[in-house]
Chains A and B, each alone.
Chain A
Amino acid sequence: MSDDQPILELRGIRAAYDRIEIVHGVDLEVPAGHVVAILGPNGAGKSTLLKVCAGLMRPTGGEVYLAGRRVTNAHADELSRAGLCLIPEGKGIFPNLTVRENLMMATFTGHSLSSVEAIAYDRFPRLGERRKQLAGTLSGGEQQMLAMARGLATDPALLILDELSMGLAPIIVEQLYEVVAQVARGGVSILVVEQFAQTVLGVANTACIMVHGKIARVGTPAELGDELSSAYLGG
């Protein structure tokens, strides 16, 4: 198997809710160890595309390849066991469980709770101070940290992040992306979707602009920086 084979490859992906097609034939590659950012305005189909990647939604057309293997109709749990981790929009934590109990949910991968907690509290010391607090009572930033900590504790090879910055203060977003950068340096491939581009462009190797369900442009963050406003505003 070739080492330069992309970790994730999408070929002509189409996705629809009932008869309304949201994603219209997207081709995308995430090379091993790279951070790929998908940027675009609200309603562009970014989150739908991530659901297809994670096996949470069946595409109506096209193929999904993971490390060169076709996994188009694989179940989300199969992909998760292999090492794909999606941190969904809206954090996806259990608000009525404590921080520690939320972290316990990551032990399904076979890691002991003590190692999961060690990883989580090492990355986010603030979670350690709040381990007995109900997750629903944490601040928005802390909830996002918890979601990330739980995801990272599963030892992912491909991390998919959906709108990490949603509803958070800029300083918290910067802290979270610092962790994303550390994770990327550890060799984890990352696909990240963002509506607000500034911070993610500092971390990404490649950026794509997605508009109206299609990838309108692919390039380095430097190349795409100037084109973002016109893409968002339809210019």
Chain B
Amino acid sequence: MSEQTQPGGRTERFRSDVAAMRLSDSNPSRERGLAMLGWLLIATGIVLAVMAIIVDSGANASYLTQGPADQRDAIVWAVSGVVFAVAGLALVIRFSFAKFLRFWLARLIYEQHASTDRIVDAKK
């Protein structure tokens, strides 16, 4: 442990590390709420897209003069649906998958260290 813990030195380093920390100071209920909002936006996006398909297929089938107008409505709904779904997905990824990604990152760091150690050992 001599390389690691020197009386006083580690404590001082700890104090400075804590002082320099960028804390997220997160609110778990807010994170949960935003993840739920994400799922809601995805669901809304899918519903809008399905409605757009229904409206569009209705417009094509009717061969009425209002068909192109309905199609434009359908395009607006479909594009809105895509925007909602993408925004929702971003929220879900940020607030729901973040923990998984952190673990994945830890695993990656470990693999890199293992690889470095193997190379160092091989060169000995």
Query: Which residues of chain A have a CB within 8 Å of any CB of chain B?
Result: 1, 5, 7, 32-33, 58, 66-69, 71-75, 77-78, 81-83, 104-105, 107-108, 112-115, 119, 122-123, 152, 155, 157-158, 182-183, 185-189
Contact = CB atoms under 8 A, between A and B. Distances in A.
Interface of B: 1, 3-11, 13-15, 17-19, 21, 23-28, 102, 106, 109-110, 113-114, 116-117, 120-121
7 contacts: A68-B19, A82-B21, A83-B18, A104-B114, A112-B120, A119-B1, A183-B1
Given A66-B18, A73-B27, A112-B116, A7 B11 contact: yes
Contact of A155 (B4, B19, B24, B28): B4
- Which of B4, B14, B113: most chain A CB closer than 10 A? B14
Given A33-B8, A68-B15, A81-B17, 15 more contacts: A5-B15, A32-B11, A66-B18, A68-B19, A82-B21, A108-B106, A108-B109, A113-B113, A114-B117, A114-B121, A186-B5, A187-B6, A187-B7, A187-B10, A188-B10
A188 B26 contact: no
Contacts of A5: 15
Contacts of B8: 33, 187
A44 B8 CA distance: 33
A187 B1 CA distance: 11
A83 B109 contact: no
Contact of A107 (B17, B113, B121): B113
A112 B15 contact: no
B14 A58 contact: no
Contact of B11 (A33, A71, A122, A183): A33
A204 B114 CA distance: 37
Contact of B24 (A58, A78, A115, A158): A78
B21 A83 contact: no
Nearest to B15: A67
Contacts of A33: 7-8, 11
Contacts of B116: 112
B11 A104 contact: no
Nearest to B26: A73
A72 B114 CA distance: 34
A185 B7 CA distance: 7
Contacts of A105: 110
A157 B1 contact: no
B13 A188 contact: no
A75 B26 CA distance: 8
Given A69-B19, A112-B117, A158 B14 contact: yes
Contacts of A155: 4-5, 10
A231 B12 CA distance: 37
Contacts of B106: 108
Contact of B15 (A1, A108, A114, A186): A1
Nearest to B7: A187
Contacts of B19: 1, 67-69
A108 B110 CA distance: 6
B31 to A, nearest CB: 11
Nearest to A114: B117
